[in-house]
Amino acid sequence: MARKEKRNTSSITQIILGIIVLAIIFIVGNNFDLDLLKNLTNDVESNALENVDRKQQNNEVTNVDGNLIIDYINVGQGDSILIRQGEHAMLIDGGTTECKEELLECLKSKNITKFDYIIGTHPHEDHIGSLDDVVNEFEFDTIFFPDVSSARVTTKTFENLVLAVANKNMKFTTPVSGKEYSLGEAKFNILAPSSTSYQSLNNYSIVIKLNYGENSFIFTGDAETLSETEILNSYDDIHADVLKLGHHGSTTSSSKKFLNAVSPKYAVISVGKDNTYNHPTKTTMDKMLELNIPVYRTDELGTIECISDGKNITFNTSPGSYDYMGD
Ligand SMILES: [Zn+2]
């Protein structure tokens, strides 16, 4: 009996030891990702310094020579936007994992060899699904990604992107709201995020305003009303000629105040045909109709090309309908 009891005790000890080992593996595993991410992020410059001039951003008009070409690439239910100015190129998001072949083919067909900037707006799969493949296939100078450390994102898609960037010996650059960058003769400012802690991952979205001559464009990722309000509170002038509507035309985004402040001449929605998320919604499309804003949408028109010569904006297609999927 005594022997049996001893065996039982040793089995229990083994089980407890096993649990402890598993717990250590789990904790170390999670920290590994977070540490790797930390090491992958460039030092963030002080927000306070950047905030000084924030309200004076975005008003400068410079003379330009040549065209700015924006392709809102049809990646189904997701975002991927290619922006070219002369020899310079930038990619905002890389669609879903499913769109890999089409996306890479599209980028190669435009003779892209190197990006000045890649932006991963936020960690959702419909925005960074094939971004690891883009990172693997193309050279780039800078890759922006929001500081999502407080959100403790542990998805495989995100991990793939982190590893792809690490394999290239590159680091993420954390966006600083208000900071300005050049893309050839175009300039863009980071408008959001302005915090490093949000409940919704969508609000981590990097939002930029790009100026080319007299024309301007806002790209929103999936930023929701909360982020739109933060932008409104931080900037006096956020007018833009073309607005890529946030979150695929969902009700979570495109608040009336934001739309009124941006006052776009044209709107673009990147959205999948017959998507299961019911995007875009009636609420959003009614606002477009009410404000008489033509809407270019990838589910109806495929890849949309928009060209600016610094004064005039032209699209390769007529606008789409105001049809909607959900409320
Ligand atoms: Zn999305």
pLDDT tens-digit readout, 1-13: 444 444 555 566 6
pLDDT above 90: residue 199? yes
Q: How far is the CA of 221 from the centre of ligand 1 (A)?
A: 7
Most confident residue range from 13-17, 27-31, 185-189: 185-189
Angle between helices 156-167 and 2-39 (to 10 degrees): 60
pLDDT above 60: residue 128? yes
- In tens, the pLDDT along 53-64 reads 555 555 667 889
pLDDT > 70: percent of the chain: 82
Q: How far is the CA of 60 from the centre of ligand 1 (A)?
A: 31
Average pLDDT, the chain: 88
- In tens, the pLDDT along 213-268 reads 999 999 999 999 999 999 999 999 999 999 999 999 999 999 999 999 999 999 99
- Read off the pLDDT of each residue in 45-55 and give the average, rounded to a whole number: 45
Cβ distance 218 to 235 under 8 Å? no
Domains parsed from the chain with CATH numbers: 40-315 (3.60.15.10)
pLDDT above 50: residue 31? no
Neighbours of ion ligand 1 (CB under 5 A): 126, 222
Q: How far is the CA of 67 from the centre of ligand 1 (A)?
A: 28
Core vs surface per residue 159-196: b (16+ CB within 10 A) or e = bbbbbbbbeeebbbbbbbbbbebebbbbbbbbbbbbbe
Q: How far is the CA of 18 from the centre of ligand 1 (A)?
A: 40
**Using alpha carbons only, what angle is made at residue 242 by residues 161 and 119, rounded to the nearest 5 degrees?**
15
State residue 229's pLDDT score: 98
pLDDT above 50: residue 51? no
Q: How far is the CA of 311 from the centre of ligand 1 (A)?
A: 31
Q: How far is the CA of 98 from the centre of ligand 1 (A)?
A: 14
- Residues 240 and 58: their CA atoms lie apart, in Å, by 10
Res. 50 pLDDT band, cuts 50 70 90: very low
Q: How far is the CA of 104 from the centre of ligand 1 (A)?
A: 19
Q: How far is the CA of 122 from the centre of ligand 1 (A)?
A: 9
Res. 195 pLDDT band, cuts 50 70 90: very high
State residue 68's pLDDT score: 98
Cβ distance 236 to 262 under 8 Å? no
- In tens, the pLDDT along 278-292 reads 999 999 999 999 999
